[in-house]
Structure 1
Amino acid sequence: MAGNSDPLTPRAKIAVTAGKAVAAASRAAGRGSGSVIGGRVALKLDPDLLARLAQNLDVVLVSATNGKTTTTRLIAEALRAAGPVVSNALGANMPAGITSALAGGSEARYGVIEVDEKYLAGVARDTDPKCIALLNLSRDQLDRAAETRMLAENWREGLAGSKAVVVANADDPLVVWAASSSPNVVWVAAGQMWKDDAWSCPSCGGVMQRPGDDWFCGECGFRRPQPSWALSGDHVLDPHGSAWPIRLQLPGRANKANAASSAAVAAVFGVPPQVALERMYQVQAVAGRYDVVQFMDRDLRLLLAKNPAGWLETFSLIDPAPAPVILSVNARGADGTDTSWLWDVDYTRLTGHPIFVVGDRKLDLAVRLEVANQHFQVCENVDQAVQLCPPGRIEVIANYTAFQDLRRRVGN
Structure 2
Amino acid sequence: MDAAVLAAKGASFLVRRLGLGGGTALPGLVALRLDGAVVARLAARLGQGCLLVTGTNGKTTTARLVAGMARAAGLRPVANAAGSNLVRGIAAALCQAAASDGRLREAARALGVFEVDEATLPEAARLLSPRAVVFLNLFRDQLDRYGEVDHVAALWRGAVADVGPAAALVLDADDPAVASLAGEARGPVLLYGLAPGPHSLPAPEHAADARWCPSCGGELAYDAVHYAHLGLWRCPECGLARPQPHLEGALEGRLLRLRLPDGSQRTLALPLEGTYAAHDTLAAVAAALALGLPWSAVEEGVSRFGGAFGRQERLSLRGREVQVVLAKNPAGLNQVLRTLCGRPGRLRLALFLNDGLADGRDVSWIWDVDFELLSGRVAWAVASGSRAEDLALRLHYARIGGELTVERRPVAALHLALERTPPGATLHVLPTYTALLQVREVLARWAGRPRFWEEAAT
**How does the TM-score come out when normalised to structure 1?**
0.92
CA contact (8 A) 1:247 1:278 kept: no
Instruction: Give the one of 271, 295, 299 matched to 2:317.
Output: 295
Q: Provide the secondary structure at the position in 2 that maps to 1:143.
A: helix
Q: Distance in 1 between matches of 2:85 and 2:42?
A: 16
Cα pair distance change 1:208/1:222, threshold 3 Å: same
Corresponding residue for residue 387 of structure 1: 419
Instruction: Report Cα offsets for 1:205-244 as digits up to 9, x if no partner.
Output: 2111212342122233332112100121122221122222
Corresponding residue for residue 66 of structure 1: 57
CA-CA distance at 1:287 after TM superposition = 2.0
2:397 is equivalent to residue 371 of structure 1: yes
2:247 is equivalent to residue 222 of structure 1: no
Q: Which amino acid aligns with 2:297?
A: V
Corresponding residue for residue 396 of structure 1: 429
* Structure 1 range deviating more: 80-89 or 200-209: 200-209
2:379 is equivalent to residue 356 of structure 1: no
Corresponding residue for residue 173 of structure 1: 176
CA contact (8 A) 1:263 1:277 kept: no
Q: Which runs of 5 or more structure 2 residues have no equivalent in the other structure?
A: 98-103, 225-230, 408-412, 450-458
Corresponding residue for residue 87 of structure 2: 95
Q: Provide the secondary structure at the position in 1 that maps to 2:57.
A: coil
Corresponding residue for residue 41 of structure 2: 52
Q: Distance in 1 between matches of 2:190 and 2:316?
A: 42
Corresponding residue for residue 410 of structure 2: none
CA-CA distance at 1:290 after TM superposition = 2.2
CA contact (8 A) 1:263 1:273 kept: no
User: After superposition, where does 1:187-266 map in structure 2 within 5 Å?
Assistant: 187-190=191-194, 196-212=208-224, 213-233=231-251, 234-266=256-288
User: After superposition, where does 1:302-313 map in structure 2 within 5 Å?
Assistant: 302-313=324-335
Corresponding residue for residue 354 of structure 2: 330
* Structure 1 range deviating more: 131-140 or 215-224: 215-224
User: After superposition, where does 1:80-159 map in structure 2 within 5 Å?
Assistant: 80=71, 81-105=73-97, 106-107=104-105, 108=107, 109-159=110-160
CA contact (8 A) 1:228 1:239 kept: yes
Q: Distance in 1 between matches of 2:358 and 2:320?
A: 29
Equivalent pairs, count: 401
Q: Distance in 2 between matches of 1:288 and 1:153?
A: 30
CA contact (8 A) 1:246 1:259 kept: no
Q: Distance in 1 between matches of 2:388 and 2:268?
A: 37
Q: Distance in 1 between matches of 2:141 and 2:96?
A: 30
Q: Distance in 2 between matches of 1:56 and 1:125?
A: 16
Instruction: Report Cα offsets for 1:318-368 as digits up to 9, x if no partner.
Output: 233313122111111111111110011101111221222222211111111
Corresponding residue for residue 25 of structure 1: 14
Q: Which runs of 5 or more structure 1 residues have no equivalent in the other structure?
A: 1-9
2:66 is equivalent to residue 75 of structure 1: yes
Q: Which amino acid aligns with 1:188?
A: Y
Instruction: Report Cα offsets for 1:127-168 as digits up to 9, x if no partner.
Output: 000000000000111111231111011101111152210001
Q: Which amino acid aligns with 2:53?
A: V
Q: Which amino acid aligns with 1:364?
A: D
CA contact (8 A) 1:169 1:190 kept: no
Identity %: 36
Q: Distance in 2 between matches of 1:349 and 1:399?
A: 19
CA contact (8 A) 2:66 2:301 kept: no
Cα pair distance change 1:42/1:239, threshold 3 Å: same
Q: Provide the secondary structure at the position in 1 that maps to 2:378.
A: coil
Structural RMSD (CA):
1.9
Instruction: Report Cα offsets for 1:55-103 as digits up to 9, x if no partner.
Output: 1221100001000000000001111214111111000100011011012
* Structure 1 range deviating more: 190-199 or 351-360: 190-199
* Structure 1 range deviating more: 323-332 or 131-140: 323-332
Q: Distance in 2 between matches of 1:386 and 1:35?
A: 30
CA contact (8 A) 1:362 1:378 kept: no
Q: Which amino acid aligns with 1:120?
A: L
Corresponding residue for residue 284 of structure 1: 306
CA contact (8 A) 1:312 1:345 kept: yes
CA contact (8 A) 2:417 2:427 kept: no
